């Protein structure tokens, strides 16, 4: 897949990660899982993002002191965590705490595709005992700025002390340029649009991923009638509505 042309020049080195489609990142296959590693802790935030593709079955290990948050982009299957199988369909989220191994199984006609973000546990943030898996359809929608909405998945109230995982919905609009007080990984789930990061624009659609360090000036524009849907995971944990306009 060839990437659409960038507009406005390159970003300064060491800053935000411009969007990239995960299929444009060569996969490394380990223990039956093809790993497209799209962002690997670029600035010490502790966040790492990959898209996993499983044709049959495979295993992964989460390091000590870390959580791994999964979100199913496509296919069907199971995640086996601590010996318990959890069914996976599109829009299922799973949390795996380290130090532990887990298994992914594909049970559908197409490979299982899973976006995964790994991050550090925050020992200073209390977290309640939470579920291993969540279904997006069961989560309430909340209003956000600029007529947007979001659904929370994993956060400290669901057992994850160091990160917040959510799905956000951008209607047909252009958001103001703004910043967040957290480091954030994002993956486009569906829809089309444009992301501007520090003055550089990129067209995006399903499967594109990008990274926003805290304080990065950015905006999102959706020119279509269909919502632009984004998976977001950020640290430290908090509310996706933490937003400071800069225009």
Q: What percent of the chain has pLDDT over 70?
A: 94
What pLDDT, on the 0 to 100 scale, is given for residue 5? 29
User: Does 2 map to a domain?
Assistant: no
User: Does 12 map to a domain?
Assistant: no
**Neighbour-count burial for 118-157, b at 16+ CB within 10 Å, e otherwise:** bbbbbeeeebeeeebbbebeebeeeebeeebebbbbbbbe
User: Does 150 map to a domain?
Assistant: yes
Q: Which domain holds residue 34?
A: 18-121+134-245
Greater pLDDT, 222 or 147: 222
Query: What's the CA gap between 128 and 110, in Å, rounded?
Result: 36
User: Does 57 map to a domain?
Assistant: yes
User: Does 4 map to a domain?
Assistant: no
CATH code of residue 154:
2.60.120.10
Contact 215/178 with Cβ under 8 angstroms? Answer: no
User: Does 11 map to a domain?
Assistant: no
pLDDT tens column, 118-152? 999 999 998 988 999 999 999 999 999 888 999 99
pLDDT tens column, 179-214? 999 999 999 999 999 999 999 999 999 999 999 999
Q: In the chain, how many domains are there?
A: 1
User: Does 227 map to a domain?
Assistant: yes
């Amino acid at each position: 897949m060839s990437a659409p042309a960038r507009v406005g020049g390159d970003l300064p080195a060491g800053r935000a990660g411009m969007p990239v489609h995960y299929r444009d990142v060569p996969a490394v296959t380990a223990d039956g899982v093809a790993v497209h590693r799209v962002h690997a802790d670029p600035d010490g935030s502790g966040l790492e993002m990959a898209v996993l593709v499983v044709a049959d079955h495979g295993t992964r290990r989460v390091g000590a002191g870390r959580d791994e948050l999964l979100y199913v982009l496509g296919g069907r299957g199971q995640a086996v965590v601590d010996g318990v199988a959890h069914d996976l369909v599109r829009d299922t989220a799973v949390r795996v705490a380290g130090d532990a191994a887990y298994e992914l199984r594909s049970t559908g006609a197409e490979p299982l595709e899973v976006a995964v973000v790994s991050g550090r546990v925050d020992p200073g943030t209390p977290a309640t005992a939470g579920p291993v898996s969540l279904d997006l359809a069961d989560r309430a929608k909340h209003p956000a700025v600029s007529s947007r909405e979001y659904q929370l998945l994993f956060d400290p109230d669901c057992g994850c002390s160091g990160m917040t995982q959510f799905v956000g919905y951008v209607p047909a609009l252009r958001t103001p340029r703004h910043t967040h007080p957290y480091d954030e990984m994002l993956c486009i789930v569906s829809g089309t649009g444009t992301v501007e990061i520090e003055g550089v624009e990129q067209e995006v659609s399903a499967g594109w991923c990008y990274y926003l360090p805290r304080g990065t000036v950015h905006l999102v524009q959706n020119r279509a009638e269909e919502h632009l849907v984004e998976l977001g995971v950020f640290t430290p944990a908090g509310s996706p509505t933490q937003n400071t306009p800069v225009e």
